[in-house]
Amino acid sequence: MQRVRRDDQVQVISGKDAGKTGRVLRVWPKQQRVLVEGLNLATKHRRVQRTRTGAQEGGIIQEEAPIHLSNVMPICDSCDKPSRIGSKVVDGVRVRVCRACDAEI
């Protein structure tokens, strides 16, 4: 079972964005990476390209870069703190639970 899923609120616990929170946009389980909205911004230089409508896009832009899964912690909805995640079987379905307050996530 995945510890972090898309649309979870997470807090970064190490690195240059430590202490900041954001929403998970995408998860790569095999590479153990997550993309968090507005965090770990990288500067990209994009070439100007013409489109069919004649618009020109390019310049220096900021994009989110993936963060390693071990550097983020999910935020529990009920206790509003970053917490470790466990699992429990409820009515034959395995669910994620907060280790601090034992609430379902």
In the predicted model, what is the mean pLDDT of residues 26-51? 92
Residue 75 · residue 19 · CB < 8 Å: no
Report the predicted TM-score, pTM, of the whole model to 2 decimal places.
Answer: 0.83
Confidence of residue 2 (pLDDT cuts 50, 70, 90): confident
**Residue 76 has what DSSP assignment?**
P
Query: What is the CATH class of 9-74?
Result: mainly beta
In the predicted model, what is the mean pLDDT of residues 45-74? 87
Asked whether residue 9 carries a pLDDT value surpassing 90, the answer given is: yes
Burial of 21 (0-12, 13-18, 19+ CB in 10 A): middle
Hey, where are the domains in the chain?
A: 9-74, 78-105
